């Protein structure tokens, strides 16, 4: 395993700051520039110690026992950071609202010693924490801690967090991405820094995206400590605040709305769920709203929503659900189309040892009959897609790459992904006239880029072999149409593809395997229908056990 330089984390933080200053210099405000000026005025070792703090969980730290071999005279660095305002010693007036965070720094042994809890030393740490909070005044707690231990709070946490957020464009990634890359654990596609563009064009874009990300954390906290009415009031205020939300933050807010609506639905607060679902249109909000309407007896309103989904379906799940559910609401005899496909499917018997591995048992069944068979599923098709459109996916000219640790374009799951690349996608596909050229192109991309993080490609020789077989078995024009269909809606159409590919010298078929209690999803039905329309051999196969 590679060994990183002693101050690798400092170099990474310096790179992040330089990157943000270059890409976002017009967006930064005075408090962020002030932090940067103060940071650059520190000695290198003081900078390193501060960066060490920023990479740790929480904002309160013990200073006794700090040891980093690459840093000289840590007590002196602590003094310097304190003097320059980068850390602050524990103070009652400044930090009394942070009590839980401060106590989280203490070990069980600390609690027993600081608060004289020897008689309770066998209790769990959580029990001791509750005892301390309930039995001691806040001022007493601070006094007892300060008498035994030096604890400091890291300052500028908001500025550091926001600069890091600007760099990554989200709150889910952190400085460990640098380590994963530098240790060779993940290979990223290497764009030059000049090709990378700012994720946010305006300060409002960044602040709105940041604010919505924070609300996910707020909601998780509210679920544990608030009533439904309090959560609904919070949501109402948030919804009003977000009326002028930046477009870049809107998808995240809609996901939050969906999460809130599902929370109310699970708690059988159907009217609250309807209110939330009614204010977002992302899948599956309309389906969930329809089900809640029925729970409350609003049948006519449920029918209206079903008709809206039928007229303007956002995916096949909405379309097939509305088609089936509307007939049910109208009292008509009705069967799900997925059920009909299952009922007319062929059936085979395999050994019961495959009860939990029905696809593997089905492969063995076909092998015994003299066929070749292997897993196709989503990952094989996705790998084919990723290898085929490699240059298009990673094309920096499309303004969708914003930092060096991006595994995928930022618009990959948005409707405009296909529209922005439509001409390139069709141009590339039109350039292939025979399978030999097609396969050579795919193999060249596999060899040249092997190991590089790609949102579609699984770097396994077995997967490549299945890609090769698929290309050899299926007509080239049919392959091209399947690739276009996936590109049109990557979120939906890169799932639900059949489990197996079975082939011989003169025949092939894709097979969706279903065990006795398994059902066919709408997306699986979509692909079975589309393959039938294209003339691609595909079927459902029911499995039972002997």
CA–CA dist 193, 197 (Å, integer): 8
- Residue ranges in the chain whose pLDDT is less than 70: 1, 333-337
| The CATH number of domain 203-334, selected from 1.10.150.120, 1.20.200.10, 3.10.180.10, 1.25.40.10 | 1.25.40.10
Measured distance between the N- and C-terminal CA atoms of the chain, rounded to whole angstroms = 49
Helix (H) or strand (E) holding 483: helix 476-488
The reported pLDDT for the residue numbered 476 is 97
Contact, 510 vs 501, CB < 8 A? yes
112-132: pLDDT as tens digits: 999 999 999 899 999 999 999
In this prediction, residue 344 carries a pLDDT of: 82
Which uninterrupted H or E stretch holds 436?
helix 435-449
Percent of all residues in the chain with a pLDDT value above 70, rounded to a whole number: 99
Q: Please, where in the chain does CATH 1.25.40.10 lie? A: 203-334
Residue 391 CB coordination number (10 Å) = 10
| pLDDT, tens only, 275-292 | 999 999 899 999 999 999
| pLDDT for position 454 | 95
- Can you give the pLDDT at residue 200? 97
Whole-angstrom Cα distance, residue 166 to residue 251?
Answer: 18
Q: Which long-range contacts (CB under 8 A, 24 or more apart) does 460-469 make?
A: 462/374, 463/379, 463/380, 463/383, 464/383, 465/374, 466/374, 466/375, 466/376, 466/380, 466/501, 467/380, 467/383, 467/384, 467/387, 467/442, 468/439, 468/442, 468/443, 469/372, 469/374, 469/501, 469/503
pLDDT in tens, 404-463: 999 999 999 888 899 999 999 999 999 999 999 999 999 999 999 999 999 999 999 999
Residues in contact with 534: Cβ distance below 8 Å, sequence separation at least 6, in sequence order: 478, 481, 482
pLDDT tens for 188-218 read 999 999 999 999 999 999 999 999 999 999 9
Query: Which pLDDT does position 333 carry in this prediction?
Result: 66
pLDDT value of position 79: 97
DSSP string, 414-432: STHHHHHHHHHHHHHHHT-
d(CA 514, CA 529): 17
This prediction's pTM: 0.90
Separation between Cα atoms, residue 34 and residue 160, nearest integer Å:
12
Q: Residue 336: its pLDDT value, please?
A: 67
Q: 456-484: buried (b, 16+ CB within 10 Å) or exposed (e) per residue?
A: bbeeeeebbebbebbbebbeeeebbbbbe
């Amino acid at each position: 395993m590679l060994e990183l330089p002693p101050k690798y984390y400092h170099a990474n933080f310096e790179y992040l700051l330089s990157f943000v200053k270059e890409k976002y210099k017009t967006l930064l405000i005075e408090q962020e520039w002030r932090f940067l000026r103060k940071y650059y005025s520190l000695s290198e070792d003081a900078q390193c110690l501060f960066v060490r703090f920023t990479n740790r969980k929480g904002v309160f730290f013990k200073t006794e026992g700090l040891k980093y071999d690459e840093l000289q005279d840590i007590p002196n660095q602590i003094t310097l950071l304190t003097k320059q305002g980068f850390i602050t010693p524990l103070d009652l007036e400044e930090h009394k609202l942070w009590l839980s965070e401060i106590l989280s720094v203490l070990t069980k042994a600390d609690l027993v010693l600081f608060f004289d809890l020897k008689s309770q030393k066998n209790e769990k740490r959580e029990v001791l924490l509750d005892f301390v909070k309930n039995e001691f005044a806040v001022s007493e707690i601070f006094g007892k801690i300060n008498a035994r231990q030096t604890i400091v709070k890291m300052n500028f946490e908001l500025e550091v967090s926001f600069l890091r957020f600007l760099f990554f464009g989200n709150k889910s990634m952190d400085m460990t991405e640098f380590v994963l890359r530098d240790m060779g654990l993940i290979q990223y596609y290497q764009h030059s820094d000049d090709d990378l563009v700012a994720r946010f064009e305006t300060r409002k874009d960044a602040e709105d995206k940041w604010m919505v990300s924070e609300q996910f954390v707020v909601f998780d906290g509210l679920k544990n400590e608030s009533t439904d009415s309090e959560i609904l009031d919070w949501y109402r205020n948030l919804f009003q605040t977000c009326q002028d939300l930046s477009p870049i933050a809107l998808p995240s807010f809609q996901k939050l709305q969906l999460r809130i609506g599902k929370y109310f639905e699970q708690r059988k607060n159907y009217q609250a769920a309807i209110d939330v679902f009614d204010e977002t249109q992302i899948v599956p909000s309309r389906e969930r709203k329809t089900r809640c309407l029925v729970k409350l007896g609003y049948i006519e309103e449920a029918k209206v929503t079903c008709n809206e989904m039928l007229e303007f379906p956002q995916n096949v799940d909405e379309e097939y659900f509305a088609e089936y559910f509307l007939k049910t609401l109208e009292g008509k005899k009705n069967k799900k189309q997925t059920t009909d496909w299952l009922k007319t499917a062929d059936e085979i018997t395999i050994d019961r040892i495959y009860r939990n591995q029905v696809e593997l048992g089905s492969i063995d069944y076909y092998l015994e009959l003299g066929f070749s068979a292997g897993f196709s599923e989503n990952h094989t098709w996705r790998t084919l897609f990723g290898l085929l459109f490699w240059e298009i996916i990673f094309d920096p000219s499309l303004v969708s790459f914003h930092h060096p640790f991006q595994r995928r374009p930022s618009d990959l799951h948005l409707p405009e992904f296909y529209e922005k690349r439509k001409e390139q996608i069709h141009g590339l596909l039109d350039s292939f006239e025979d399978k030999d050229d097609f396969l050579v192109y795919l193999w060249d991309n596999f060899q040249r880029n092997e190991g590089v993080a790609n949102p579609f490609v699984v770097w396994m020789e077995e997967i490549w072999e299945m890609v090769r077989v698929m290309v050899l078995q299926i007509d080239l024009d049919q392959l091209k149409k399947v690739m276009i269909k996936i590109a049109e809606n990557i979120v939906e159409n890169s799932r639900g593809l059949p489990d197996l590919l079975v082939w011989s010298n003169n025949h092939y078929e894709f097979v969706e395997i279903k065990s006795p209690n398994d059902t066919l999803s709408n997306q699986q039905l979509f692909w079975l229908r589309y393959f039938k329309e294209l003339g691609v051999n595909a079927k459902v196969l029911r499995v039972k056990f002997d």
